[in-house]
Structure 1
Amino acid sequence: PDDPGGYFIVNGTERVVVIVEDLVANKVIVDEEKSGTYPYVAKIFSEDGQYNISHAIEKGKDGMIYVSFSKVQKIPFAILMRALGAQKDQNIIEEVVGSDEDSKFLGDLYINLYELGEVRKVSDALEYIGKRMGIMMPDKRIERAEEIIDKFLLPHIGHSKEARLLKMHFIARAVKKLLLVSYGEIKADDKDHYGNKRLKLCGDLLEVLFRFSFRSLVGDMKYNFERLIKRGKVPNLQSVTRSQFLTSRLRSALATGNWVGEREGISQHLERANFYDTLSGVRRIVSTLTESRENFEARDLHPTHWGKLCTSETPEGTSVGLRKNLAITACISTEPEFMEEEIISRLKSMGVTKK
């Protein structure tokens, strides 16, 4: 009767899917690098359920700002803003600093605007991005660049052409935060603060696994369908579908712990030495960081861990500080809708308006 549940029985063995600790998605995290060509970097992990894409906005020592996402690497910030619809140079400046004509950021912005050169129109900017992506056919460059921007640039904001304006606002605010950190106006974000972390539970991890496996199933069905068509046969659904395809993928991941994204150890054997050992197993948290690297700050105890994580339970050796456990009284919220509605209503009552 005291069994906590929360585990799977695979091939007669009890397996538990551990909690995965990762950086918060859809939030600008500005990091200050101590060395390198780009000492200031703003990172965004854009996630919308379908895509999970890492973005980087980097400011070099010369003041130049570059944006990288998906397969698009180091596009000048001003050119990307023009591709998103900023018709004039003044539009780009106003997006970042507003109407502040005495802003100390203007010098950096003018340096980046100089990079525009002959890129005067939106179509010119899209053509530039298409060339940087290595698209050889001139008539396809703009179309392909638009597709990349709509689909892979900040996908959590939207995939339509109408979302480009919102993406431009988001990038401008990220650049402003990057400039504020570079000028010492605000401090860089603390990546180890638990407000900048999110815990992915069993449901989140199984969702990712199922989506990946389902895409593989669709690809396998398409391959079998085309193969039979070439032979002159008219296949039915049963003949192109392998009945155990999904089941075997899910069962294999749960049995071995090997997950999507080359992650290992996501499912682990559930210990039954005593009740507390079992409870520790189902409340275990693993980090996405590599154990072979030092990552001293990530391994240290942080003040925001208090009340959320057990301050003493962590293994010795290379995984010290990277494998943690929930505090015995901790409870993870899963963003119910009423919380979101309550937060929005409170913001409105405080006078916050939608731009």
Structure 2
Amino acid sequence: MIYDGVTEKLSPQKCRLSSLTYAAPIYVTVDYTSTVRGKKQESTEKDVVIGRMPIMLRSCSCVLYGKDEEQLAKLGECPLDPEGYFVVNGTEKVISIQEKLSKNRIIIDTDDKGCVQASVISSSEKTKSKTIVKMEKEKIYLVLNMFKSKVPIMIAMKAMGMESDQEVVQMLGREPCFSALLLPSIEECANLKVYTQHQALEFLESDKMLNVFSYFSGPVEKGARALSILRDIFLPNVPVHQHNFRKNAYMLQ
């Protein structure tokens, strides 16, 4: 650092006190090519400064690297400071690490109660939503923020047109273990007296289930709200053509 015409070695503490950025110059070698009177001429210029890059404290390029406690104290640093940050305009700055979940990828984990669940953040050009399928007390449920409470999986399947329990089981697999897995959910659906697609859509549109009415504008037919949610909000990355939800049902399974 050149300060008042005097070259002085830069340290993080001096940068803090002088509101400077603790940085190092970036040097490059530039090759020039030009043509003069039909003749090609080449020249090279070394150590051209194209900018400055902040240095992380205690990195291998930092003056604090490898210093013991006594040497750190002489440089105005606390030996207990883990460093790993930058000094920009005299202010200490850190790089925050952010984790972002991948879109349209199923993630298997457990919730706060220890229940196994599969979640996916589905995204299309127009819509983005999170869908959760969880198992609770041997029953499987669909969780979608457009509904006030969790939806029994068999009701969701019937609402998408899969009215036959046998068809749903065969979509999952023909082995007896799959039918045993879905049996509690099938019994729950029967106890709620939901057997057809129309009944399933009515159940989803009941006051205790449907969460957002403002999503829809103007009068709509009965069952259209729930059907629209299943078509546009539930797994929006899977297109639905002519109310054929079979691809969505396969992904739900």
Evaluate the alpha carbon distance shift between residue 66 and residue 3 of structure 1 in structure 2; reply closer, same or farther with a 3 A threshold.
farther
**In 2: Cα distance, 1:141 partner to 1:158 partner:** 23
Question: In the alignment, what sits opposite 1:288?
Answer: none
TM-score, normalisation: structure 2: 0.54
Contact 1:45 1:54 in 2 (8 A): yes
Which residue matches 1:148? 229
Choose between structure 1 and 2: higher strand proportion: 2
The separation in 2 between residues aligned to 1:99 and 1:3, in whole angstroms, is: 66
The answer for the alignment partner of 1:115 in structure 2 is 188
- 1:266-299: per-residue Cα shift (whole Å, max 9, x none)? xxxxxxxxxxxxxxxxxxxxxxxxxxxxxxxxxx
Change over 3 Å in CA distance of 1:29–1:135 after alignment to 2:
closer
1:78 partner SS = helix
Alignment of 1:271-350 (within 5 A): none
In the other structure, the counterpart of 1:67 is 142
What is the one-letter code of the residue matched to 1:70? N
2: distance between equivalents of 1:116 and 1:139?
A: 26
Structure 1 residues 74-106: Cα deviation after superposition (integer angstroms, max 9, x where no partner):
01001101111212110111112x222x32x43
CA distance in 1, matches of 2:101, 2:220: 40
Q: Which residue number corresponds to residue 133 of structure 1?
A: 210
Contact 1:70 1:152 in 2 (8 A): no
In structure 2, how many angstroms separate the alpha carbons of the residues matched to 1:19 and 1:51? 26
- CA shift for structure 1 position 3: 5.9
Q: CA deviation at 1:48?
A: 0.9
Equivalent residue letter for 1:63: E
Q: Over alpha carbons, which structure has the higher Rg?
A: 2
- AA matched with 1:106: S
Aligned residues between the structures: 154
CA RMSD of aligned residues (A): 3.0
Which among 6, 20, 25 is matched to residue 103 of structure 2?
25
In the superposition, relative to structure 1, how do residues 74 and 167 fare at CA in structure 2: closer, same or farther (>3 Å)?
Answer: same
What do residues 167-188 of structure 1 show as CA deviations (whole Å, max 9, x unaligned)? 001001xxxxxxxxxxxxxxxx
Which runs of 4 or more aligned residues in structure 1 lie more than 2 Å from their structure 2 counterparts after TM superposition? 1-4, 18-21, 105-108, 138-141, 159-163
Distance 1:122 1:57, change over 3 A: same
What corresponds to 2:249 in structure 1?
Answer: 168
Report SS of the residue matched to 1:167. helix
2:151 is equivalent to residue 78 of structure 1 = no
Task: Give the 5 Å matches for 1:208-287.
Answer: none
| 1:51 corresponds to | 127
Partner Cα distance (1:134, 1:22) in 2: 27
Gap regions ≥5 residues in structure 1: 5-17, 173-355
1:157 aligned partner: 238
Please give the alpha-carbon distance, in whole angstroms, between the structure 1 residues aligned to 2:109 and 2:101: 13
Q: Counterpart amino acid of 1:148?
A: I
Match in the other structure for 1:42: 118
| Whole-angstrom distance in 1 between the partners of 2:211 and 2:129 | 20
Deviations 1:146-165 (A, max 9, x none): 11111101001125444511
Contact persistence 2:146–2:229 (CA under 8 A): no
Q: 1:69 to 1:160 in 2, by over 3 A?
A: farther
Tell me the percent identity. 21
Q: Does structure 2 retain, via aligned residues, the 8 Å contact 1:130–1:142?
A: yes
Name the CA distance, whole Å, in 2 between partners of 1:143 and 1:152: 13
Q: Any unmatched runs of 5+ in structure 2?
A: 1-48, 53-95, 214-218
TM-score, with structure 1 as normaliser: 0.39
Higher helix share: 1
- Rounded Cα–Cα distance in structure 1 between residues aligned with 2:128 and 2:222: 24
How many Å apart are 1:28 and its aligned residue? 1.2
User: Does the CA contact (< 8 Å) of 1:150 and 1:160 recur in 2?
Assistant: no
> For residues 120 and 99 of structure 2, what CA distance do their matches in structure 1 show?
16
CA distance in structure 1 between the aligned counterparts of 2:210 and 2:110, rounded to whole angstroms: 28
